[in-house]
Structure 1
């Protein structure tokens, strides 16, 4: 049984699973909380890091990791935990949209679309 979907206590937080992505800080943001070019470059680098498949996550958990980071996979898969849990394919990310402002590349990735087999 994998630990990936078990809850985990992290300080004052109780996480429902061990799939995480570091939040973007707004400390250095421009007016209105918008990302600056230097923030965009910094976080684009972090978004390309992290694991992209369940086998790698299970391996690191087996070696003693507490949490697993899924950088780019989180961005492109709003239903990432469910995809990992059920073995669905992980959607690729469009790196050209990283931290460019607007919804494209953040709110435009769909959840997995199940198809109904013809009878």
Structure 2
């Protein structure tokens, strides 16, 4: 199983924003520099996080992005779903309905992984690593 590079950048961006001062927006240029990625590419990822309601865009000279949701509530799964969507990783190609034994095994594994990612909060990681942005 592999997540896209966009998910990698989204997770790191959310880590930086969670560690940053909540009221002070962080510019896309700084976020892009931290990750060594194009600001244009990162802007597309930030747009998805805005649409998911996790961050907000602040316009103006001192604009940028900051958390919109309570930072204690943002899970890894929230971020992954904002970028990747929530479709199953596996889609059975045979037409034997929902009783496919292979599909059941994969879905059970996905549910366990999603539960783990849902319980892992970005704020926990910031605390564990004592990150200051």
TM-score by length of 1: 0.29
Structure 1 or 2, whichever has the larger Rg, is 2
TM-score by length of 2: 0.27
Larger relative contact order (CA 8 Å, sep ≥ 6)? 2
Higher helix proportion: 2
